[in-house]
Amino acid sequence: MSYLTTSMTTGAAVTGAAPLGVGVPGFAHPLMAPTEWAELLRLSRGAACTGGARRSPGARGGAAALHWVVLDVARGPGVRPDPYCLPAAAQLRDAGVRLLGHLDLEHGARPFGELVSDAHRFLDWYKVDGFYLDRCPTDRTLLPETRRLTTTLRALCDGAHLVAGHGRHPYPGYAEAADQLVTFAGRWADYRWSQVAEWTADHPAARFCHLVHGVPRTHLEEALRIARWQGAGTVYFTDRADRGGDAWESLPGYWDEFVSRIGPGVSE
């Protein structure tokens, strides 16, 4: 397959050996998806990892398998504190989960001031630990403005974790603008034949994330193998189909199996 025939004959195999972790791109509102939010809390305490021992604590004391969770109240923070999102966010923070506020960059079309205003609301109301920059630009010409935003976000939130949701490989300079880059977000039918950009071999797996929907249970192990070979450190796979952007809103049918398989790389 193409992910195995890439010209990165050393980098992919080396970085792919690192443990994988879960990044949750945004469940539905807690009122509509109480089971999903309860599972996040369970996973943060190590109880959802049914395939092995409890994970060691991460940077904030939570389960190492759960790298971050995106909080998207209303395509952003909303216009006022949400009475259901406030306790859900607080519970995850108390459990040591890294919570990211959802900021939609609209491929560079969103005004800088609006994004900063939304960031302030996320910080003031939900005490987030960083931001998920959805629909982040990928081309070189918009890199300076993206850097301006990420520099401002880091000034607003000391130690902010920034994930750039490109969805595909961006211009390499974006690697210096965020902590992680989402270099694939899309269908399993495309992911299984995808190729990794050669410049990613210069960075550790912890810098990259893959989000894939429509992954059948029978292909879950293959999807994990692709992620490891392509050097991704954070993943989210679901069997849900994308219907108007709702692929991430509910748990995959194989949630327990998925999280139990996250961990050290396998020998290829």
- Tell me the pLDDT tens digit for each residue of 160-186: 999 999 999 999 999 999 999 999 999
- Tell me the pLDDT tens digit for each residue of 27-57: 999 999 999 999 999 988 864 433 333 333 3
- CA 29 vs. chain centroid, Å, equals 18
- Tell me the pLDDT tens digit for each residue of 58-99: 344 444 489 999 999 999 999 999 999 999 999 999 999 999
Interval 101-109 mean pLDDT = 98
Q: Among 264, 204, 267, 206, which Cα is nearest to 234's?
A: 206
In whole angstroms, give the CA distance from residue 106 to residue 92.
28
Tokens of 101: 């506020």
In whole angstroms, give the CA distance from residue 163 to residue 130.
8
Interval 228-255 mean pLDDT = 94
- Tell me the pLDDT tens digit for each residue of 126-136: 999 999 999 99
What number of H helices and E strands is found in the chain? 8, 8
Phi, psi of 164 (to 5 degrees): -90, 110
Please check whether residue 168 is in contact with residue 137, taking contact to mean a CB–CB distance below 8 angstroms: no
Please check whether residue 33 is in contact with residue 71, taking contact to mean a CB–CB distance below 8 angstroms: no
Tokens of 189: 């039918």
In whole angstroms, give the CA distance from residue 255 to residue 36.
10
Residue-averaged pLDDT of the chain: 87
In whole angstroms, give the CA distance from residue 66 to residue 58.
8
Q: How many CA atoms lie within 13 A of 89 on its CB side?
A: 24
Q: Which amino acid is at 50?
A: T
pLDDT at 9: 38
